[in-house]
Amino acid sequence: MPHRADEGLVITLKRVAAALKQSEIPFALGGSFAVYAHGGHSSDHDVDFVIREQDKERALEELAAVGFEVEQPPEDWLVKVFDEGRMVDLIYRPVESPVTDATLRDTSMLSVEAIKMPVLSATQLMIHKLLSYSQHYCDFATGLPVARSLREQIDWVRVREETAKSPYAEAFLMLLDRLDVVPQVESVRMTVGG
């Protein structure tokens, strides 16, 4: 889990998760805290939850009712809540694709700071990370620690299939191969097939 310096964020994370659970709003923990929950390393320290778009208004109402400030930013893929200045993103369309029931099933129930909650799978976290790279943002240093620390939990064949249209993801995956973090899919298939 994160360093003690993030104690305030941990408290905020727990408050949001408890409110969403209490309200029976489907959600999953995403982002850097999800990486930590899987035992991995991430350099970011922010709180991200994924929710379905149709639950956005109710989530904001429920969180406002327990004292969170709510904000609907101009971006059309997330809303934000604040707890004593600490920000939480409620993301309903990460990497241009909507959160669906299937997204929310691609989770593990993990104990995060003593609260059991759904956490996005390591595979889904890696897919989101790779699809976030673009000509405007392509910092592979954010993805390398995630790939290294979670590599055994990630379905790399699925990652390659779901990120195949992204030249940035392709370059990142080639880098992982060259660094011997994860072999190319062809190599994996050849060793499995004999």
Extract the residue ranges of the chain whose pLDDT is less than 50: 1-5, 187-194
pLDDT at 185: 55
Range of the domain at 146: 121-194
Instruction: Provide the sign of the torsion angle of the four alpha carbons 8, 14, 15, 17, taken in this order.
Output: positive
pLDDT at 43: 64
Q: Are residues 114 and 66 in the same domain?
A: yes
Q: Any idea what the Cα angle at residue 28 is, between residues 23 and 29, rounded to 5°?
A: 115
pLDDT at 98: 96
Q: Are residues 133 and 113 in the same domain?
A: no
pLDDT per residue over 120-132, tens digit each?
Answer: 999 999 999 999 9
Return the CATH number at 59.
3.30.460.40
DSSP secondary structure letter of residue 184: -
Q: Are residues 16 and 27 in the same domain?
A: yes
**Count of domains in the chain?**
2
pLDDT per residue over 17-44, tens digit each?
Answer: 999 999 999 999 999 999 999 999 866 6
- Contact predicate 2/45, CB 8 Å: yes
Q: And the tokens for 4?
A: 């003690």
Q: Are residues 6 and 34 in the same domain?
A: yes
Q: Are residues 95 and 33 in the same domain?
A: yes
Alpha-carbon distances of 56 from 2, 19, 114, rounded to whole Å: 27, 13, 26
Q: Are residues 112 and 156 in the same domain?
A: no
Please name which of 45, 51, 102 lies closest in space to residue 78, comparing C-alpha atoms: 51
pLDDT at 192: 46
- Class of residue 177 by CB neighbours under 10 A (exposed 0-12, middle 13-18, buried 19+): middle
End-of-domain residue from the set 120, 141, 164: 120
Q: Are residues 25 and 112 in the same domain?
A: yes
Q: Are residues 116 and 187 in the same domain?
A: no
Q: Are residues 112 and 140 in the same domain?
A: no
End-of-domain residue from the set 120, 149, 175: 120
pLDDT at 3: 44
Q: Are residues 164 and 191 in the same domain?
A: yes
Q: Are residues 96 and 52 in the same domain?
A: yes
pLDDT at 45: 67
End-of-domain residue from the set 120, 150, 177: 120
Q: Are residues 112 and 192 in the same domain?
A: no
